[in-house]
Homo-oligomer: A and B are copies of this chain.
Amino acid sequence: MQALEVYICILIDIMSNSSNPQYVIGIDLGGTNTKFGIVDKDGHILDQDRIPTDSEKPIEYFIQQLHAKLQPMIDKMGGKQAFIGIGMGAPNGNLYTGNIEYAANLHWKGIVPIAHLITEKFGIKTSLTNDAKAAAMGEMMYGAAKGMKHFITITLGTGVGSGIVIDGKVVVGNDGFAGELGHTIVRHNGRLHKSTGSRGCLEAYASATGVRETALEFLQNNPTTISLLRDYEEEELTSETVYDCAVKGDEIAKNVFEFTGQILGEALANFVMFSSPQAIVLFGGLTKAGSFIMAPTKEAMEKNLYQVFKNKVQLVFSNLKESDAAILGASALVL
């Protein structure tokens, strides 16, 4: 009898879904992994999974892998009729075209019509945007920027991404690519950014990769200074190990975050003087360094702000769980 009730409930659910789609799919395509989940209209993630992005292989392979995992999840919710749409965030994802275009951190070259390919495969309309813009939408709908009309999110991960919100709308600009703040130049003729060839961009310093590089530089430039960082093999040095050493009071490790924060804060000051946001929300792996990164960043930001902006802008960490935020943000593109 109970089994029959459950069966009827599911049947009613499926029938009501077909006439009234109520779920969305959020896909966050990252350089290493692609996370996806089924989200209801209130922002609850009902189901989620992930696959390696494997962009060395052709895009068709990626679509197949995604289909193999995501289609059963769709079927379980009543099939494609139950879905309003698919929202996707990806590096260099263009809202206007639905293409990933010349993404530096992916191996697929040139222009990849990924929204079209996913729409075709699943029979569900797919919208694409830049991964960092999706994160900004997630922050606005569910996170630290809830209710704000003017804010900027900065993702401090393998790279540095950004989403800019002005008047409650994510800025996409004339061609869909606005908000590539990780590529803005912060040090004239500064550190080489290996995948783009530019010099002195924010991403070369304020990403996990940048922190690692700063640590290696500091160790090399101070060969006689004792440091816990020297206990690690070179390949083991990451922003996490630098953090672990900073917590233990290691001077070089603390200086690495101090240096990173100074550069990041100066860049944030420039962004504030552009769009005058209410808040800047920091997000991604590097934020695990807590006050080691927050304190110098805030100090440098305030120091470099023009008078009218001083002591006005909230600088906060995202309060969304990282894996959830990416999926929620992508799904928000449809809602």
Partner-B contacts on A (CB < 8 A): 92, 101-102, 104, 149-150, 164, 166-167, 169, 171-181, 183-188, 196, 198, 266, 269-271, 273-278, 304, 306-309, 312
Asked whether, in the complex, the Cβ of A184 is within 8 Å of the Cβ of B274, the reply is: yes
Asked whether, in the complex, the Cβ of A92 is within 8 Å of the Cβ of B308, the reply is: yes
Asked whether, in the complex, the Cβ of A178 is within 8 Å of the Cβ of B274, the reply is: yes
In the complex, what residues of B have CB within 8 A of residue A308's CB?
A: 92, 101-102, 175, 177, 180
Asked whether, in the complex, the Cβ of B184 is within 8 Å of the Cβ of A276, the reply is: no
* Given A150-B174, A266-B188, A304-B198 contact (CB < 8 Å): yes
Question: Can you identify 18 A-B contacts, CB atoms within 8 angstroms?
Answer: A150-B173, A166-B173, A171-B275, A172-B276, A173-B275, A174-B312, A175-B276, A177-B308, A178-B276, A179-B275, A180-B308, A181-B274, A183-B273, A184-B269, A184-B273, A188-B266, A198-B306, A274-B274
Asked whether, in the complex, the Cβ of B307 is within 8 Å of the Cβ of A104, the reply is: yes
Asked whether, in the complex, the Cβ of A175 is within 8 Å of the Cβ of B274, the reply is: no
Asked whether, in the complex, the Cβ of A309 is within 8 Å of the Cβ of B180, the reply is: yes
Asked whether, in the complex, the Cβ of A174 is within 8 Å of the Cβ of B198, the reply is: no
* Given A178-B274, A308-B101, A187-B185 contact (CB < 8 Å): no
In the complex, what residues of B have CB within 8 A of residue A274's CB?
A: 164, 178-179, 181, 184, 271, 274-275
In the assembled complex, the CB of A52 is this many whole angstroms from the nearest CB of chain B, namely 25
Asked whether, in the complex, the Cβ of A304 is within 8 Å of the Cβ of B185, the reply is: yes
In the complex, what residues of B have CB within 8 A of residue A149's CB?
A: 174
Asked whether, in the complex, the Cβ of B184 is within 8 Å of the Cβ of A270, the reply is: yes
Quick one: which of A174, A175, A307 has the most chain B CB within 10 A?
A174
Asked whether, in the complex, the Cβ of B273 is within 8 Å of the Cβ of A180, the reply is: yes
Residue of B nearest to A152 (CB): B274
Q: How far is the CA of A188 from the CA of B7 in the complex (A)?
A: 67
In the complex, what residues of B have CB within 8 A of residue A269's CB?
A: 184-185
Q: How far is the CA of A207 from the CA of B150 in the complex (A)?
A: 29
In the assembled complex, the CB of A93 is this many whole angstroms from the nearest CB of chain B, namely 11
